[in-house]
Amino acid sequence: MRRKVTVFIIVTISYLLQVTLFEALSFASISPNLLIIVVSAFGFMRGKKEGLFVGFFCGLLLDLFGGSVLGFYALLYMYIGYLNGFFRKLFYPEDLKLPLLLIAGSDLGCNLCVYVILFLLRNRFQIRYYVLHIMLPELVYTMVVTIFLYPLILKVNERLELIEKRSASKFV
Amino acid sequence: MKRKSKFVLPPKYILLIMSGICVVAMITCFTMGISGGPLQTVAGYVFVPMQRGINTVGSFLTEKADNLKNLGDVMAENEELRRQVDELTVELNTIHLEQYELENLRELLALDQKYPSYEKVAANVIGTNGSNWFNSFTINKGSNDGIDVDMNVIAGSGLVGIVTSVGPNYATVTAIINDSTQVGGTVSTTADNLIVSGSLKTMNEDMVIGFSNLRDADNEVQVGDPVVTSHISDRYQQGILIGYISSIENDANNLTKSGTITPAVNFEHIEEVLVILQKKQVVEE
């Protein structure tokens, strides 16, 4: 329960910051994707199942307030969370390379999917332009934000795991 | 006989089930045009107040910063504006006379006012859609204030977009510069129709959006001509300014022309918008 509430708060804060503050701090109308950091992080920190659910709810939020088809982002983010879950075995909290790599991959993958499904299929063929002017800037900005946001998420998660372990050992 | 009957569903089956839910949601959305429903209502009540809070803080801080910076500028501007007020007052008086004359003439012609002053409601932009691909944003008024889907949204004198989904206390507006949006327009000088289509690429590069299907055999349409919403559009009220033509090109078929339009609204800094509470009347079949 405690975990669910905490995750909900993290998702809420990231979402709100993404649509308000970071929109105001956008460079060349590009703003970072905080939700992908959260989804990806919970994927590789906690495994497929939690990644899947966090992804689903983040996507659902974007769907509800984005005005596009309900379920599209939910599906996309859910798969991103799930796929990140495969890397749980390789994940060590001390290591920063793998998380950065995974978050970068998730962001790029997410944007490629959006491009192919929502742009390429509408005859927008200039993939070079979209990669250079939308995906890469967003990737760079997201990585910069990751350096600050990811350690926070990691701390919160470690603390939660500690509390869970303690209360589990009480019952033994 | 100890046997744990605790059954845990493997993640891949959960993924499958949730995918099914998403696909069903998407299909219902496409076929029935329902978006969110009760989910939207709940989400609206949870997230919109928080967005509003952040926005209040944000605008308060910007205002304070601007105040300090601008005091000197404002003093100078004030003096200049005073001079302008005098000039404009003279001009206004002349226009008043002309207006009076115009009204008389219109009455004579038994014409209605050409563009009825629609009832509008003012709203603040409280958040974007959180993606770099599409241009839509959330405003802080919803169905509680009489806003409904397909209502036109303007800022200043120009068209901003159209309401695409609505909750009790918020509404989502899709801008005309959005990559998948199209608006039927008319060149107001020649009354030729054209189609205005938003584009992420041209908007990012030159702050313009595209238009196409302009039939102008006599080459009358010029760069700089204003484009307004067309009377044949079924969702946009007639005569709202979209923008000004910034370039024209002949299409390969030599029958139609296409080009670009500079929007009348500055989409980088939209804070306040007006929602026209009247929907376009369309004859139902």
The predicted-structure confidence for B122-142, as pLDDT tens digits, reads as follows 888 888 887 888 888 889 888
Separation in Å, CA of A123 to nearest CA in chain B: 11
- Max Cα-Cα span within chain A: 62
| Total CB pairs under 8 A between chain A and B | 148
Query: Residue A106 above 60 pLDDT?
Result: yes
Q: Does A69 touch chain B (CB under 8 A)?
A: yes
What's the per-residue H, E or C state across chain B?
Answer: CCCCCCCCCCHHHHHHHHHHHHHHHHHHHHHHCCCCCHHHHHHHHHHHHHHHHHHHHHHHHHHHHHHHHHHHHHHHHHHHHHHHHHHHHHHHHHHHHHHHHHHHHHHHHCCCCCCCCCCEEEEEEEEECCCCCCCEEEECCCHHHCCCCCCEEEECCEEEEEEEEECCCCEEEEECCCCCCEEEEEECCCCCEEEEECCHHHHHHHCCEEEEEEECCCCCCCCCCEEEECCCCCCCCCCCEEEEEEEEEECCCCCEEEEEEEECCCHHHCCEEEEECCCCCCCCC
Using CA atoms, how far apart are residues B130 and B134, in angstroms rounded to an integer? 9
Closest CA to B261 of B234, B221, B232, B233: B221
Quick: pLDDT tens for A136-162: 989 999 999 999 999 999 999 999 888
ipTM: 0.75
Q: Does A93 touch chain B (CB under 8 A)?
A: no
Separation in Å, CA of B31 to nearest CA in chain A: 11
% of chain A at pLDDT higher than 70: 98
Q: Which tokens is A72 given? A: 């599209």
Q: Which of B25, B46, B55 sits opposite A70 (nearest CB)?
A: B25
Please report the pLDDT score of residue A39 as a whole number: 93
Q: Which of B14, B127, B268 sits opposite A65 (nearest CB)?
A: B127
Q: Which of A20, A67, A138 sits opposite B58 (nearest CB)?
A: A20
Quick: pLDDT tens for B167-180: 888 899 999 988 88
Q: Which residue, among B132, B160, B270, would best test binding to A if mutated, counting the most A CBs under 10 Å from its CB?
A: B132
Q: Which tokens is A92 given? A: 């060590």
Q: Does A25 touch chain B (CB under 8 A)?
A: no
CB atoms within 10 A of CB A6: 15
pLDDT band at B3 (very low <50, low <70, confident <90, very high): low
Q: Do B201 and A126 lie within an 8 Å CB cutoff?
A: yes
Please report the pLDDT score of residue B224 as a whole number: 87
Q: Give the mean pLDDT of B247-276.
A: 87
Q: Hey, what amino acid is at A116?
A: V
Please report the pLDDT score of residue B108 as a whole number: 62
Please report the pLDDT score of residue B103 as a whole number: 79
Q: Do B25 and A134 lie within an 8 Å CB cutoff?
A: no
% of chain B at pLDDT higher than 70: 91
Query: Residue B1 above 70 pLDDT?
Result: no
Lookup result for tokens 């008086």? B93
Quick: pLDDT tens for B45-96: 888 888 888 888 888 888 888 888 778 788 888 889 988 888 888 888 888 8
- Calculate the average pLDDT of chain A: 87
Please report the pLDDT score of residue A105 as a whole number: 93
Q: Give the mean pLDDT of B28-36.
A: 72
DSSP characters for A46-90?
H-HHHHHHHHHHHHHHHHHHH-S-TTHHHHHHHHHHHHHHGGGGG
CB atoms within 10 A of CB B132: 24
Quick: pLDDT tens for A115-143: 888 888 888 888 888 888 888 989 999 99
Query: Residue B157 above 80 pLDDT?
Result: no
Q: Give the mean pLDDT of B195-220.
A: 87
Q: Hey, what amino acid is at A56?
A: F
Q: Which residue, among A48, A65, A125, would best test binding to B if mutated, counting the most B CBs under 10 Å from its CB?
A: A65
Q: Give the mean pLDDT of B7-26.
A: 85
Query: Residue B34 above 70 pLDDT?
Result: no
pLDDT band at A40 (very low <50, low <70, confident <90, very high): very high
Q: Which tokens is B103 given? A: 């009204």
- A115 vs B contacts (CB less than 8 Å): 133
Q: Give the mean pLDDT of B177-199.
A: 88
The residue of chain A nearest to residue B179, with distances taken between CA atoms, is A119
The residue of chain B nearest to residue A121, with distances taken between CA atoms, is B180
Using CA atoms, how far apart are residues A84 and A103, in angstroms rounded to an integer? 9
Q: Does A115 touch chain B (CB under 8 A)?
A: yes
Query: Residue A20 above 70 pLDDT?
Result: yes
Separation in Å, CA of A95 to nearest CA in chain B: 26
Quick: pLDDT tens for A5-15: 999 999 988 98
Closest CA to B267 of B198, B188, B193: B198
Q: Do A19 and B132 lie within an 8 Å CB cutoff?
A: no
Closest CA to B248 of B214, B197, B217, B284: B214
Lookup result for tokens 């004198």? B157
